[in-house]
């Protein structure tokens, strides 16, 4: 990965000056909603690119070593070999960006990837995911344990209470503790935007998370009623841009939750390119957190290559 965001001292004056123009954000979001996806012949290439941004995720109560093993194999080879061959792409060139699992399944994922002789980051959610309502020591310990088990990326959730009540200093301090518990592992900070009250709170929480040294800011856990939306993405992307212009540190963006179709994934790529520029179209700075998106992308690629849609047995791993 490229240089990490080291964070900066908490700048409460900057935080207090933030105002977001809701109408302007909603108008901009309509622009993305109405965008046309790339023409058929470019589409498959963009879809393959989208695959490389996916944090292939399973976060279910019934996760077991065997379904995590299967998830890892799918992440290592996300698109059928013969389909890649027909597109003149080497299979080594296409993996997902990472797999993302609960802390208790990190060791299973690390073992599965090692057994497959592959190299792929394992991300663990942590800090009392999804609600973040456990004592601070427990949340910090969870990060330490996930790193010890081999996670190289930690998706932490913020304490929404602190954001909703404007306790920015306390939030900053908690996040600094998580960042130091992450050590060399990259920290993705989940704002759980569906639980926040206004775009201004989303922008302020983004800013404080970046000041505390987050490598990525992420929209959602996938468990809130509202997850990744274009308006909220625009607000977070603008916070990332402002932070970069002011500090020179690039922070990544990860929309997550409810992103399920190939078409949507292409609109997300367009949004990132327009809001943050091509530099952000790299797995170092952009991820899509999704559990079922890959299946639809592979189906669309299959259609592109063969001219018809796959039946279940033709894409059994999807
Ligand atoms: O971080 C990733 C999300 O939990 C995935 O959400 P999803 O199951 O709606 O794709």
pLDDT one-digit tens code per residue, 257-270: 999 999 999 999 99
pLDDT more than 90, % of the chain: 88
- Supply the residue whose CA is at minimum distance from atom 7 of ligand 1: 257
- Supply the residue whose CA is at minimum distance from atom 6 of ligand 1: 257
d(CA 237, CA 20): 13
Q: pLDDT digit string (tens) for 237-263?
A: 999 999 999 999 999 999 999 999 999
Query: Number of helices (H) and strands (E), helices first, in the chain?
Result: 13, 8
- Active-site choice (39, 49, 254, 273): 254
- Supply the residue whose CA is at minimum distance from atom 2 of ligand 1: 289
Instruction: State the average pLDDT for the chain.
Output: 95
Spatial CA neighbour of 127 closest among 144, 151, 152: 144
Q: pLDDT digit string (tens) for 35-66?
A: 887 766 688 999 999 999 999 999 999 999 99
- Judge whether residue 277 has pLDDT over 60: yes
The answer to whether 254 is a known catalytic residue is: yes
The band of 204, judged by pLDDT with boundaries at 50, 70 and 90, is very high
- Supply the residue whose CA is at minimum distance from atom 1 of ligand 1: 289
The answer to whether 86 is a known catalytic residue is: no
pLDDT at 207: 98
- Judge whether residue 291 has pLDDT over 60: yes
Q: pLDDT digit string (tens) for 137-163?
A: 999 999 999 999 999 999 999 999 999
Q: Which of 291, 293, 296 to mutate to test the pocket of ligand 1 (most atoms within 8 A of CB)?
A: 291
Backbone phi, psi, residue 43, to 5°: -60, -45
CA–CA distance from 258 to each of 261, 290, 311 (Å)? 9, 7, 24
Query: Which ipTM did the prediction report?
Result: 0.97
pLDDT at 317: 61
- Supply the residue whose CA is at minimum distance from atom 4 of ligand 1: 222
271-274: long-range contacts, CB 8 A cutoff, minimum separation 24: 271/32, 271/230, 271/233, 271/234, 271/237, 272/237, 274/32
Q: Which residues line ligand 1 (CB under 6 A)?
A: 57, 59, 100, 221-222, 256-258, 289-292
d(CA 277, CA 271): 9
Domain-wise residue ranges, the chain:
12-306
Q: pLDDT digit string (tens) for 78-113?
A: 999 999 999 988 767 799 999 999 999 999 999 999
pLDDT more than 70, % of the chain: 97
- Active-site choice (39, 218, 223, 273): 218
pLDDT at 153: 98
Report yes or no: 97 and 287 within 8 Å, Cβ to Cβ: yes
pLDDT at 251: 98
Q: Which atom of ligand 1 lies closest to the CA of 293? A: 10
- Judge whether residue 1 has pLDDT over 60: no
CATH node for 12-306 = 3.20.20.70
Please give the average per-residue pLDDT across 175-183, as a whole number.
Answer: 98
Give 258 Cα–ligand 1 centroid separation in angstroms.
Answer: 6
CB atoms within 10 A of CB 62: 6
Q: Which atom of ligand 1 lies closest to the CA of 290? A: 10
- Judge whether residue 2 has pLDDT over 70: no
């Amino acid at each position: 990965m490229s240089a990490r965001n080291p964070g900066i001292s908490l700048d409460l004056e900057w935080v207090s000056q933030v105002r977001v123009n809701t109408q302007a954000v909603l108008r901009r979001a309509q622009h993305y909603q109405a965008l046309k996806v790339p023409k058929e012949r470019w589409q498959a290439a963009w879809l393959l690119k989208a695959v490389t941004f996916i944090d292939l995720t399973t976060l279910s109560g019934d996760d077991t070593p065997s379904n995590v093993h299967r998830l890892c194999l799918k992440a290592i080879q996300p698109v059928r070999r013969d389909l890649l061959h027909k597109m003149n792409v080497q299979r080594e060139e296409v993996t997902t960006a990472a797999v993302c699992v609960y802390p208790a399944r990190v060791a299973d994922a690390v073992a599965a990837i090692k057994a497959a002789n592959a190299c792929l980051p394992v991300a663990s959610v942590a800090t009392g995911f999804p609600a973040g309502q456990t004592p601070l020591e427990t949340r910090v310990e969870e990060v330490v344990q996930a790193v010890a088990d081999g996670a190289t990326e930690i998706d932490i959730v913020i304490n929404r209470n602190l954001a909703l009540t404007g306790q920015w200093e306390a939030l900053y301090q908690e996040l600094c503790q998580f960042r130091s518990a992450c050590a060399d592992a990259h920290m993705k900070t989940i704002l759980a935007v569906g639980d926040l009250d206004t775009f201004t709170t989303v922008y302020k929480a983004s800013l404080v998370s970046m000041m505390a040294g987050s490598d990525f800011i992420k929209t959602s856990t996938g468990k809130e009623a509202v997850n990744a939306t274009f308006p909220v993405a625009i607000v977070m992307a603008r916070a990332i841009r402002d932070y970069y212009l002011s500090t020179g540190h690039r922070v990544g963006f990860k929309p997550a939750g409810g992103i399920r179709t190939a078409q949507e994934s292409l609109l997300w790529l367009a949004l990132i390119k327009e809001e943050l520029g091509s530099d952000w179209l790299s797995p170092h700075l952009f991820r899509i957190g999704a559990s079922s998106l890959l299946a639809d992308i592979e189906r669309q690629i299959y259609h592109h290559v063969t001219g018809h849609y796959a039946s279940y047995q033709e894409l059994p791993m999807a």
